């Protein structure tokens, strides 16, 4: 079968291989059959291997939904009564976690930092010291809105020093940037199948500490569909998801895991790094600036600043590229106009070379000066 190959430079869903796409075309099956449960058992075990988790101490729990369901589940399920959550927040995805706390009415501290700055660890420690009722610390590994990499190992060590559970939104790093759950001081991490795994949307998973999940059995219940213990308990006792799983998506995820292990953790990370470097090279050649200091970037998302050119029109540039099979993505920073190019998915350096040919044409067609100009440079048209 000949399926058109699109290069997705958005932060997920990512470009998939044809073998993953085709893995969804299977005979119809009722997911309550033993055959299906045994497949999910293998899938759950494979997910642990990605983050080098010991199967005695850690477990993985699957949910039907996009990645946000994981944040929702962890926060609403893992907070004991009369305790508080600390969100270490320097971007859009940690802000989403804050919104989840607000929606459930969970006591929380939103410890906010600038979106282009790393969290101040001394301030995090001071907050933990002054608030002994913090039972859960949450942050985002790679803030996908900007591409900044947070120091999770250090944050996890602080959380543990003050007796709190550490949950990390690793949706845009897991199965890309190597993670070691124990060494990185993570109690719970999470992702969805369409990002690092390069599979299909609709399946999300949490990998975390079994003893903490078991202790949460007696915590206040704040959701029915999105309760971690309930789903875990159902998997442990029946091997099945509590409610209907995304059947075909699970077949695709199993194929994607096969391909993940065949490529290998290091080789895959090296490939994403090649793509990331190629994105930077292309943007540098065109004169674009980015938001986050290079040494702080997670190596997966580049946030470029709109040039100060009267002819710049993101939608027109996007549409030109889209019609030619390349998808670029708007930014997620309220104070600066940016767009994003991401290194996720089944793509390599050559795809980025091809992309920049098209991107350059898009700039030329729209009469945008190359190299692009910014108002703090002399002679930029339209600047006062």
Residues that bind ligand PLP (CB under 6 A): 11-12, 66-68, 93, 140, 144, 169, 171-172, 192
Q: What are the structure tokens assigned to 176, written together?
A: 């890309």
At residue 371, the 3 state secondary structure works out as coil
What is the nearest approach in angstroms of ligand PLP to the Cβ of residue 150?
A: 10
Element (H, E) at 362: helix 349-365
Residue 16 or 140: the one with the smaller Cβ distance to ligand PLP is: 140
Residue pair 24/200 in contact by the 8 Å Cβ criterion = yes
Alpha helices in 186-312 (DSSP H): 210-215, 228-238, 247-263, 265-286
What is the nearest approach in angstroms of ligand PLP to the Cβ of residue 69?
A: 7
Q: Name which of 11, 315, 272 is nearest 145 in CA terms.
A: 11
Residue 97 or 304: the one with the smaller Cβ distance to ligand PLP is: 97
Residue 91 or 307: the one with the smaller Cβ distance to ligand PLP is: 91
What is the nearest approach in angstroms of ligand PLP to the Cβ of residue 368?
A: 29
What is the nearest approach in angstroms of ligand PLP to the Cβ of residue 308?
A: 29
What is the nearest approach in angstroms of ligand PLP to the Cβ of residue 141?
A: 7
What is the nearest approach in angstroms of ligand PLP to the Cβ of residue 169?
A: 5
At residue 134, the 3 state secondary structure works out as strand
Residue pair 251/35 in contact by the 8 Å Cβ criterion = no
Q: What is the number of the residue whose Cβ is closest to ligand PLP?
A: 67
Residue 246 or 307: the one with the smaller Cβ distance to ligand PLP is: 246
Residue pair 13/201 in contact by the 8 Å Cβ criterion = yes
β-sheet bridge partners, residue 84: 134
Residue 153 or 161: the one with the smaller Cβ distance to ligand PLP is: 153
Residue 173 or 209: the one with the smaller Cβ distance to ligand PLP is: 173
Distance CA 367, CA 129 (A): 56
């Amino acid at each position: 079968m000949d399926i058109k190959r699109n290069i997705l430079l958005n932060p997920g869903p990512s470009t998939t291989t044809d073998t993953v796409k085709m893995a969804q075309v299977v005979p119809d099956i009722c997911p309550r059959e033993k055959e299906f449960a045994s497949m999910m058992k293998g899938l759950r075990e494979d997910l642990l291997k990605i983050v080098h988790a010991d199967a005695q101490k850690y477990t993985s729990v699957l949910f039907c939904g996009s990645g946000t369901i994981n944040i929702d589940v962890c926060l609403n399920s893992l907070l004991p009564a009369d305790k508080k959550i600390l969100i270490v927040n320097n971007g859009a995805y940690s802000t989403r976690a804050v919104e989840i706390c607000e929606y459930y009415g969970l006591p929380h501290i939103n410890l906010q930092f600038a979106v282009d700055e790393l969290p101040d660890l001394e301030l995090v420690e001071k907050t933990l010291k002054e608030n002994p009722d913090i039972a859960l610390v949450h942050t985002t590994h790679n803030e996908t809105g900007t591409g900044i990499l947070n120091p999770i190992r250090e944050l996890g060590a602080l959380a543990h020093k003050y007796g709190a559970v550490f949950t990390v939104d690793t949706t845009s790093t897991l199965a890309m940037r190597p993670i070691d759950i124990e060494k990185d001081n993570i109690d719970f991490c999470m992702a969805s199948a369409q990002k690092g795994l390069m599979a299909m949307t609709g399946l999300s998973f949490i990998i975390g500490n079994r003893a903490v999940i078991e202790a949460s059995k007696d915590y206040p219940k704040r959701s029915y569909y999105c309760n971690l213990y309930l789903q875990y308990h159902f998997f442990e006792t029946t091997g099945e998801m509590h409610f209907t799983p995304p059947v075909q998506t699970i077949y695709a995820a199993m194929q994607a895991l096969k391909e993940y292990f065949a490529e290998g953790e290091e080789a895959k990370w090296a490939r994403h790094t090649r793509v990331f470097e190629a994105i930077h090279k292309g943007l540098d050649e065109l004169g674009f600036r980015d938001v986050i200091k290079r040494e702080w970037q997670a190596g997966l998302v580049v946030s470029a600043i709109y040039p100060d050119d009267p002819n710049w029109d993101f939608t027109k540039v996007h549409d030109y590229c889209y019609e030619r099979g390349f998808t670029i993505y708007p930014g997620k920073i309220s104070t600066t106009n940016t767009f994003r190019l991401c290194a996720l998915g089944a793509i390599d350096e050559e795809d980025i070379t091809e992309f920049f040919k098209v991107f350059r044409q898009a700039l030329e067609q729209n009469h945008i000066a190359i190299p692009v100009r910014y108002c703090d440079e002399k002679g930029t048209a339209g600047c006062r």
